[in-house]
Chain A
Amino acid sequence: MTKLHCIFMQGVKKPFREVIDVAWGDAQGAGIKPLTFVRQVLAACLYPQLLDSNRLPTDVKQKARGLLSECHGGSMGSYTDLPGIPQVAREISEYIARRDGGDPPKTGNIFISPGSQWALQNILNLLVHGHGEVRSGVLTPIPCHVTTIESLHSLGGVSVPYYLSEEHGWELQMEELNRALEYAKQVCAPVALYVVNPGNPPGHVQSKKSIQDVIRFALEKRLFLLVDEVYQDCVYADNVEFVSYKKVLAEMGPPFSDTVELASFHSASKGFLGEAGLRGGYVELVNMDPDVIKYACTIFSKDTAPTPGQIALSVLANPPRLGDPSYPLYEMETQQMQTMIKANVRRVHEVLDSLPGISCQPVEGGAFAFPRVDLPPKALQKAKEMGMEPDTFYCLRLLEESGAFITPGCEYGQKEGTYHIRFCIRSPGDVIEDFLGRLVTFHTQFMKEFS
């Protein structure tokens, strides 16, 4: 089994698709194709001789020329200054202004990095006192993807969990946030609140009211807000809309809008681009002390984002528009992707709703389904005998018996006595269909075996 796991991690192409990997939020790894426009621009920047041919649409060439003209020596091979290739920084700023309304943020408040988690760790580095008796704490959701928490721990920080409410669609509840903070004060110096919206692993999209509540809480309790919004383009439910923390903050007006310190993270790894391997992400800082920003510059300047990742961000922030030669294809590709994933979500709910012993809160957004599995006592017993968590045991058996690779809820945290599984819904439709088929067969047998 470990060998299978290793084979997955190596990405070695197997001669037949016996095993399905829907464990990670890696759309392109799962088989979703990259957007043509991104890759054409990237190729032209990499090998500018292509600009002289008639192989590429004019808007691709124009974008590539524009980006290259702002690279030192006209080459992607050069280092870039803070905050990145100037055009990219400007495009991100304009993107934020279009998304949120209001003035474009100063590019000096935007830092581009090799992926959003890298930027997050840099900001944590500014916040966290990791040595000595007083250690900084950050409130983190349960369930939560592991990377941020490990990042925090590696800096010597303390993660203090607040439980999202599964019965209410995994929403964030203020009572629970208050409880967590009160507890935190006893064991660390809480300094920040980390929110993931849309969520990972639960696919909840925060309402505007909930965001307002959190902002008020942050102001009142003096917490720095770290908002991970990498799934902002991944929204599926019809009556739900993503709204950025920054926008809500601005609309709330003073004292909130000019006081609450906020770092908002985004990335080219998710959404329609799915360019996880290119490592392009950024953080926008709002209301940060200008003296601290100077130190942020030093920290970020040591690790500039790779130029391919910056090119991906450029397309994220400034995609083809109506009237551009590449627009029809871009529009078609993104629409097809959205339609397919929405269909995936529908299918997932259809199938899971009909399976006894599994229930799933609505996947409003994000990249995953995080259903709850009601494991029978005999299965719990067996897992205990094998020395592993029950949901790990379930996932292991799933992999062994049906070749489907997913991850267990214990990896993300969950309420004691509950068990979950996580799988990625940003995968090709046929992969999801195949997976669901295997899951149904396996689950039915498993529940029977341990009844």
Chain B
Amino acid sequence: MKMRLFSPRNVRLLRRGPRDVLGSSCGGPCSPSPPLTSPSVPPVALCRALSSLTASRRGLPQKKMSENGISRPKVLTLDTMNPTVKMVEYAVRGPIVQRAVELEKELSEGIEKPFTEVIKANIGDAQAMGQQPITFFRQVLALCSYPELLNLDNTFPEDAKNRARLILQSCGGSSLGAYSPSQGIDYVRQDVANYIERRDGGVPCDPDNIYLTTGASDGITTILKLLVCGQGIDRTGVMISIPQYPLYSAALAELGAVQINYFLNEDNCWSMDIQELQRAVNEARQHCHPRALCIINPGNPTGQVQSRDCIEDVIRFAAKERLFLMADEVYQDNVYAEGCKFHSFKKVLFEMGPEYSETVELASFHSTSKCYMGECGFRGGYMEVINMDDDVKSQLTKLVSVRLCSPVPGQALMDLVVNPPQPGEPSYNCFIKERTATLSALAEKAKLTEKILNTVPGIRCNPVQGAMYSFPCITIPDKAIKEALEKGQQPDMFYCMTMLEETGICLVPGSGFGQKRINEGFVVMTILPPIDKLTILLNKVKEFHQRFTKQYS
């Protein structure tokens, strides 16, 4: 009998959803005829206490005055707001990005600046930086959207038309505009499963374990929602790498989970270090209940591509410490460095034999936003769940039904990503040309970034093995640190803000990613701009750094 670490006891139970009503799970009365429909009702004695608490909690006066001078407190204020929301900061769209948007506006209004454009080199949005979409994908999506185009003779290749027909057939009412099942279009999930099997050298994949999500973030947040429970020392702790992608810290804050930081090893190209994982989990057990371990591979923002041995070690660690593994693999095609190869957690898990493959609980995530597609705007993604307890899986299915379904164009796009044109098909040559061009351009830009930044005294940059970012370490002079702290800013935020105001280049400071040091800061810069623009950008960064260092020496 398999013992799941993650059982329904741990999961906040949800009421049954509408789609279950005629299913076998409808065992008993389902009418919410008792007036209260929440999972638990506080006893009467507590109720009076509740009403008095209510009054004091909501009665804080506010500044807004009505016409006859009586102050009218708002129902929803910072004080009455859900407290966990206050903990949420989302660095990727935080204050520096807001300032960048303001500056863009000012430029468009004709206000003079020391630069002519704002370059948002902070977000992994390839097409915003000029990367071209894959022609075949857009053709098929256009045909799916407006099927009358199928009747046009020469505008679209036959394989694009056939794909569009297949996809439309799999949609309700043969339209992208119909709801799909909450878990995703069955036909697409089947294709995703086939892709995973091919990618992983034949390791079987059950389409029933595939969920199509609104981008990978949606899948990640959903799994985290399932995992977070308990109070006090039993509160769920989630291990996340530092530096990390701020979605995780934002989601954990929103869910009121405990964030357990483990540091990646900068000296070894940001690899994971089991001793460090052990240290982190041991320390965490004193104040929370560690339940999950998140890995981003290839890494964001560090770009490291984990070696196979390292992945095995992590799996053993997760098994030993009874942790649910969450593998964010959205950059799986973005591998540049020689000697580096992407190994999926699932493949490695299964190759380690039944002791692990039948017990370790894993969720892997992928998306249409990165790799060579760069289709962020469609919010396409999937997750595969392995060894999840059956009852928990039905809770998961219920949880995704609250979203109704993920965007159908994104599902269609994911189908094309996992099942691209094959040799011999009319669109193959063009497809492979575009894909290769994009990926090799990224590889070139990764190398260029490392090269240029490492010529700057006071900047050091690890090789960008994969993903879409460089994560250089910058030395910040003491005087600058002082001024930063006087302004109430982290030193690397101050550095980035100054760079933004002087050059129009928007980078994200590393403190948004959790890494904090004293006279060193980290910044995140994408490698996405076209190579000539990137060269200019990198040289401007170089010039700025030299100026800044001199100014504050």
Residues of A within 8 A of B (CB): 1-2, 5, 9-13, 24, 26, 28-34, 39-40, 42-44, 46-47, 50, 53, 55, 71-73, 75-82, 114-115, 117-118, 121, 125-131, 133-136, 142, 145-147, 149-151, 153-154, 156-161, 180, 183, 185-192, 222-224, 254-255, 258-259, 261, 273-279, 287-289, 291-292, 295, 298-299, 301-309, 387-389, 392, 395-396, 399, 407-408, 410-411, 413-414, 416
For chain B, residues 156 to 181, give those with C-beta under 8 angstroms from any C-beta of chain A: 169-181
27 intermolecular pairs with C-beta atoms under 8 Å apart: A26-B179, A30-B173, A42-B142, A43-B146, A46-B138, A47-B142, A71-B377, A114-B214, A115-B403, A126-B81, A127-B81, A129-B82, A129-B83, A142-B32, A150-B15, A150-B402, A158-B37, A160-B35, A186-B51, A189-B58, A259-B64, A288-B76, A289-B74, A298-B85, A301-B90, A309-B407, A413-B33
In contact, B180 and A126 (Cβ under 8 angstroms)? no
Q: How far is the CA of A77 from the CA of B169 in the complex (A)?
A: 24
B376 contacts A79, CB within 8 Å?
yes
On whether the beta carbons of B82 and A128 are closer than 8 Å, the reply is: yes
Q: How far is the CA of A5 from the CA of B181 in the complex (A)?
A: 11
**Nearest CB on A from B135, distance (A):** 8
A147 to chain B, nearest CB (A): 6
Interface residues of B in 135-151 (CB under 8 A from A): 138-139, 141-143, 145-146, 149
Give the residue of B17, B66, B177, B377 whose beta carbon is less than 8 angstroms from that of A255. B66
B26, B32, B51, B93: the one contacting A301 at CB < 8 Å is B93
A298–B407 Cα distance when bound, in Å, is 22
Q: Nearest Cβ distance between residue B393 and chain A, in whole angstroms?
A: 16
CA distance A13 to B378 in the complex (A): 26
Query: B61: CB under 8 A from chain A?
Result: no
Report how far A161 CA is from B84 CA in the complex, Å: 26
Q: Contacts of B110 on A, CB cut-off 8 Å? A: none
A411 touches B407 (CB 8 A): no
Mark the stretch among B39-47, B195-203, B330-338, B445-453 that contacts chain A.
Answer: B39-47
A28→B39 CA distance, assembly (Å): 35
Nearest A-chain residue to B375, judged by Cβ: A77
Instruction: From known contacts A302-B90, A306-B410, infer whether A187 and B125 are also in contact, taking CB-CB under 8 Å.
Output: no
Q: How distant is A230 from chain B, measured CB to nearest CB, in Å?
A: 12
Q: State the CA gap A238–B377 with chains docked (Å).
A: 41
Q: Which residues of A lie under 8 Å from residue B85 when comparing CB positions?
A: 125-126, 295, 298-299
Asked whether, in the complex, the Cβ of B214 is within 8 Å of the Cβ of A279, the reply is yes
Q: How far is the CA of A42 from the CA of B19 in the complex (A)?
A: 30
A433–B393 Cα gap in the complex (Å)?
39
Which residues of chain A have C-beta atoms less than 8 A from B251's C-beta?
A: 302
The residue among B12, B15, B21, B408 with the most chain A CB atoms within 10 A of its own CB is B21
Q: How far apart sit A424 and B29, CA to CA, in the bound complex (Å)? A: 24
B247 touches A (CB below 8 Å): yes
* Bound CA span A153–B35, Å: 15
| B402 interface neighbour in A121, A160, A387, Cβ under 8 Å | A121
Which of B77, B146, B179, B409 meets A291, CB within 8 Å? B77
Contact A292 B57 (CB under 8 A): no
Q: Which residue of B lies closest to A304 (CB)?
A: B379
Contact indicator B404/A161 (Cβ below 8 Å): no
- Nearest Cβ in chain B — how far from A318, in angstroms? 19
Partner among B29, B42, B81, B218 whose Cβ is within 8 Å of the Cβ of A303 = B218
Kindly list chain A residues whose C-beta atoms are within 8 Å of the C-beta of B389: none
Closest-CB distance, A360 to chain B (whole angstroms) = 20
A117 to chain B, nearest CB (A): 6
**B138 to A388, Cβ gap below 8 A?**
no
Q: Please, which residues of chain A bring their CB within 8 A of the CB of B29?
A: 389, 410
Within 8 A of A (CB), among B356-380: 373-379
Q: Report B-chain residues with C-beta under 8 Å of the C-beta of A302.
A: 90, 93, 217, 247, 250-251
- Name A39's contact: one of B14, B139, B146, B376 (CB within 8 Å): B146
Are the C-beta atoms of A75 and B181 separated by less than 8 Å? no
CA–CA, A287 and B178, complex, Å: 35
**Chain B residue, CB-CB nearest to A60:** B146
* A-B interface, 3 closest residue pairs, ranked by CB to CB distance from nearest: A277-B408, A72-B128, A29-B172
Other-chain contact of B14, A72, A150, A259 (Cβ < 8 Å)? A150
Q: Which residues of A contact B138 (CB under 8 A)?
A: 46-47
Size of the B side of the interface (Cβ < 8 Å), in residues, is 121
On chain B, the residues within 8 Å of A33 by CB distance are 175
Q: How far is the CA of A161 from the CA of B406 in the complex (A)?
A: 29
Query: CA separation between A436 and B89, bound complex, in Å?
Result: 53
A151–B214 CB distance below 8 A = no
CA distance A190 to B39 in the complex (A): 16
Chain A: CB-nearest residue to B68:
A255
Determine the chain B residues whose CB is within 8 A of the CB of A287 once the complex forms. 74
Q: State whether B145 touches A222 (Cβ < 8 A).
A: no
Q: Is the CB of B66 within 8 A of A78?
A: no
- Verify A47–B141 contact, CB threshold 8 A: yes
B32 touches A114 (CB 8 A): no
- The CA of A413 and the CA of B129, in the complex, are separated in Å by 51
Contact in complex: B180, A277 (CB < 8 Å): yes
Task: Give min CB distance, B126 to chain A, whole Å.
Answer: 8
Residue pair A274, B177 in contact (C-beta under 8 Å):
yes
Chain B interface SS verdict (over half): loop
**A316 vs B209: C-alpha distance when bound (angstroms):** 36
Nearest A residue (CB) for B250: A302
Nearest residue (CB) in B for A48 is B138
Q: Is B130 an interface residue (CB 8 A)?
A: yes
CB distance from B24 to the nearest CB of A (A): 5
Pair B14/A29 contact, Cβ less than 8 Å? no
Q: Is the CB of B38 within 8 A of A153?
A: yes
B179 touches which of A29, A126, A129, A145 (Cβ 8 Å): A29
In the complex, the answer to whether A277 meets B177 with C-beta atoms within 8 Å is: yes
A190 to B57 alpha-carbon distance, docked (Å): 12
Q: Which residues of chain A are within 8 angstroms of B17 by Cβ–Cβ distance?
A: 146, 150
User: B131: nearest residue on chain A (CB-CB)?
Assistant: A73
Q: Is B152 an interface residue (CB 8 A)?
A: yes
User: Shortest CB–CB separation between residue A75 and chain B, in angstroms?
Assistant: 4
CA distance A302 to B123 in the complex (A): 13
Known contacts A34-B177, A53-B155, A306-B214: does B90 contact A399 (CB below 8 Å)?
A: no
B39 touches A153 (CB 8 A): yes
> In the bound complex, what is the Cα–Cα distance between A129 and B38 (angstroms)?
13
Contact partner of A277 (CB less than 8 A), chosen from B62, B175, B379, is B175
A278-B407 in contact (CB<8A): yes
CB proximity of B8 to chain A, nearest CB, Å: 15
Residue of B nearest to A297 (CB): B93
Query: Does A77 contact B177, Cβ atoms closer than 8 Å?
Result: no
Docked Cα-Cα span, A413 to B29, in Å, equals 12
Closest chain-B Cβ to A53's Cβ sits at a distance in Å of: 7
- Cα A289 to Cα B79 with chains together (Å): 11
Q: Which chain B residues border A295 with CB–CB below 8 Å?
A: 78, 81, 85-86, 88
**Complex CA distance for A305 and B215, rounded to whole angstroms:** 11
Q: Which residues of A contact B141 (CB under 8 A)?
A: 46-47
A278 engages B408 (CB within 8 Å) = yes
Cα-based distance from A43 to B33 in the complex (angstroms)? 47
Known: A77-B373, A303-B218, A304-B379. 6 other contacts (CB 8 A): A1-B22, A43-B145, A46-B142, A47-B141, A79-B128, A299-B88
A117–B44 CB distance below 8 A: no
In the bound complex, do residue B172 and residue A308 qualify as a contact, i.e. CB atoms below 8 Å apart? no
Residues of B within 8 A of A2 (CB): 22-24
Contact B377 A79 (CB under 8 A): yes
Task: Report Cα–Cα, A130/B215, bound state, in Å.
Answer: 26
B15 contacts A153, C-beta separation under 8 Å? yes
Name the B residues within 8 Å of A192 (CB-CB).
Answer: 75
- How far is B128's CA from A192's CA once the two chains are assembled, in angstroms? 40
User: B291 to chain A: closest CB distance in Å?
Assistant: 17
Known: A2-B22, A47-B142, A191-B75. A11 touches B402 (CB 8 A): no
- Report the separation of the CA atoms of residues A446 and B30 in the bound assembly, to the nearest whole angstrom: 22
| B28 sits at the interface (CB 8 A) | yes
Beyond A153-B39, A387-B27, whether A277 also contacts B75 by CB under 8 A is no
Residues in chain B near residue A188, CB distance under 8 A? 38, 42, 50
Q: Are A75 and B377 touching (Cβ within 8 A)? A: yes
With beta carbons under 8 angstroms apart, the residue of B57, B101, B126 that contacts A189 is: B57
